[in-house]
Amino acid sequence: METTSTNRRSPIRHLLFLGGVVLTLAIALGIFFLLMKPPMGELGLMALFLAITAMVSVAAGYGAYRLGWIHRSPRISWVLVGGYALASVLTFLNVWVTARLMFASQHDLLLATVLLLFAGGIAMSVGYFLSAALTDRIITLNQAAQEIATGELSVRVPVTGNDEMASLARTFNDMARQLQAADQKQRELEELRRNLIAWAGHDLRTPLASIQAIVEALADGVVEEPDTVNRYLLTAQREIRSLSHLIDDLFELAQLEAGGLRLERGENSLSDLISDTIESFSELASRQEVTLEGRADPAVDPVVMDAQQIGRVLSNLVGNALRHTPSGGAVRVQALAQLGGARVEIQDTGEGIPGKDLPHVFDRFYRGEKSRSRATGGAGLGLAIAKGIVEAHGGTIGVESRPGQGTHFTFTLPESKKSS
């Protein structure tokens, strides 16, 4: 693709070069005719002379281009100075030959030679000085590219002007941003892979090992007493149920992250959903001697939502709160109407979340302290699933907590029309 693009531009470049020479020849003849008012014979001779010198200039320029000396130079500044030198030489020859043919005096010819050499040198010096601005930008871009090659993806180059170099700098910065985003995504995937391995190695292997030990004990006849056998079977049933819940959570999280979770939105009562959640956890709260309360603003209903999925969010958050609230504590759930939707708050008086774990509580498979240990029933998925469900509804979820002062979860549901 790169070679085809270059080959496509070459004929256009050649035509522009020839067009510029022809236009210069025509303008020179026009000015000569307007200023000098020469006879047609002299005008013809001048046209012939200028055409010959123009052809010589075209041949010299095209020859330098075809020889490829531009590509052999180690520095662009030398290429530009070489171009200025060639232009100065061609100018010198055109003017000097013209003066010679005009039978200028030896004194005038020598003076013209000195002045032309001086003008050519000044032009080359000024051209080299101005080319430094271009080469400096190229050097900066090259240094940035080398840093990118070494893995420093945060590097950016300054964008100045609106020329091709500025466009190249903007493209380079866009590329660097995309590389940095891809690198960050790769790091997140690698972290996810490590967490998934750790999760599978712990939360799946532990109940499987327990079930295996129970089955082997029953199969080998190690346990024969009916009460003990029944207790073993109940333990195996509990472990199997736990495994089933873990696999369901993993599948639902995969659906959420792939955008494949279908929401059955409709106008539902958020206050009824909170009442149902409180009722389902009331026995557990009573056994733990934890006060569990819920209330809803009368103006909060109806809410357009998937009642089953939001019920899952409430269950995850309330269950999490109960796991980390000691006896004598309290868990309170309330729904409030707010501009543009509804806000649900789950407040507990439990142990709180350590500051180092707080930014990661919604990360999948994340294990902080007790908030993510299997001993308390967490597998690092419930809060991640709750976050995915809320965000799928277009809402937000957040948490505030201090160790020893409880935790406060909040999520919002935007006001929206019922989907068709």
- DSSP three-state, residue 281: helix
Of the pLDDT bands very low, low, confident and very high (cuts 50, 70, 90), residue 374 is very low
Q: Return the DSSP state at 389.
A: H
With beta carbons less than 8 A apart as the criterion, state whether 330 and 293 touch: yes
Q: Give per-residue pLDDT as tens, 100-109.
A: 666 557 777 6
Mean pLDDT, the chain, rounded, equals 77
Residues in the chain: 420
Residue 258: the pLDDT is: 62
Provide the pLDDT confidence category of residue 3 given band limits of 50, 70 and 90: very low
Is residue 349 within 8 Å of residue 401, measured between CB atoms?
no
pLDDT at 1: 43
Residue 417 is given by DSSP the state P
Q: Select, from the ranges 22-36, 126-140, 214-228, 287-301, the one with the highest average predicted confidence (pLDDT).
A: 287-301
C-alpha–C-alpha distance, residues 128 and 76, integer Å: 10
Is 171 in contact with 144 (CB distance < 8 Å)? no
Distances (CA, A) of 16 to 3, 9, 10, 313, 369: 20, 11, 10, 68, 72
Per-residue pLDDT tens over the stretch 288-333: 898 989 988 888 888 888 888 888 888 888 888 888 888 889 999 9
Phi and psi at residue 190, to the nearest 5°: -65, -40
Q: Hey, which of 83-87, 112-116, 295-299, 360-364 has the most confident mean pLDDT?
A: 295-299
- Residue 342 three-state SS: strand
Better-predicted residue by pLDDT, 128 or 6: 128
- Bigger pLDDT: 332 or 361? 332
pLDDT for 260 beyond 70:
no
pLDDT at residue 153 is higher than 70: yes
On whether the CB atoms of residues 317 and 409 are closer than 8 A, the answer is yes
Say which residue, 64 or 332, is predicted with more confidence.
332
Nearest by Cα to 352 from 409, 307, 295, 395 = 409
pLDDT tens, 261-300?
677 888 888 888 888 888 888 888 888 898 989 988 888 8
Half-sphere exposure of 367 (CA within 13 A, CB side): 18
